[in-house]
């Protein structure tokens, strides 16, 4: 009986030590990631969140997909940092970008999903980009407001699709999402037009 127990202990110990990583494997696993790898991870996270939206009851339209792709292209210099231009071909190939935009302007007829496009990308940036600071200026106070405007829609989308309901600060203009000790993501919504017409 004692021999059987000793044999089982030896087998368990051998199996346990076989599964432990070597020092070389540990060093490889804990290497700090480069800014390019970090940028790729953020872009992949954003695309994964967009797939969640596409699988919902209101998937993105073809135009919204194109708008989001162009906005992500414009965000590349903030996500990848100064290393972007040293690795331009790699980043363009990885993300299927034609170029890196300095900004994106788009127009569309009424009821074509422009506000919804902005709501989606703002929510996804708040979830995926560390220390993001987003400022949205809408035409009127109603369009940017906390009751039914862009601010309210972002907050609703974060809650409904991504189960984010606890915000560090939430007032009529500013929404702060604290994701870690040194990671505070901020959305500010303002009205560009006059309050009374």
pLDDT digits (tens, 9 = 90+) for 79-113: 999 989 899 999 999 999 998 888 888 777 877 88
Report H helices in the chain: 2-19, 23-29, 35-54, 62-80, 88-95, 114-128, 141-144, 150-162
Cβ burial of 131 (10 Å; 0-12, 13-18, 19+) is exposed
Is 115:170 a contact under the CB 8 Å cutoff?
Answer: no
Task: Please count the other Cβ atoms lying within 10 Å of the Cβ belonging to residue 86.
Answer: 11
Is 60:69 a contact under the CB 8 Å cutoff?
Answer: no
pLDDT digits (tens, 9 = 90+) for 182-195: 888 999 888 876 55
The answer to whether the predicted template modeling score (pTM) of the entire model surpasses 0.85 is: no
């Amino acid at each position: 009986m004692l021999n059987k127990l000793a044999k089982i202990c030896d087998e368990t110990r051998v199996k346990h030590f076989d599964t432990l990583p070597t020092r070389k494997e540990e060093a490889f696993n804990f290497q700090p990631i480069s800014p390019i790898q970090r940028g790729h991870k953020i872009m992949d996270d954003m695309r994964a969140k967009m797939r969640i939206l596409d699988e919902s009851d209101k998937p993105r339209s073809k135009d919204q997909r194109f708008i989001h792709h162009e906005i992500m292209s414009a965000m590349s210099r903030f996500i990848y940092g100064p290393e972007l231009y040293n690795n331009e071909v790699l980043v363009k190939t990885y993300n299927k970008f034609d170029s890196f935009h300095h900004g994106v302007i788009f127009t569309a007829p009424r009821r074509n999903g422009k506000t919804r496009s902005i709501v989606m990308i703002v929510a996804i940036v708040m979830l995926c980009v560390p220390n993001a600071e987003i400022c949205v200026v809408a035409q009127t106070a109603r369009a940017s407001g906390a009751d039914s405007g862009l601010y309210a829609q972002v907050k609703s989308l974060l809650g409904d699709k991504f189960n984010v309901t606890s915000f560090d600060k939430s007032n009529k203009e500013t929404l702060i999402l604290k994701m870690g000790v040194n990671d505070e993501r901020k959305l500010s919504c303002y009205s560009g037009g006059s309050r009374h017409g």
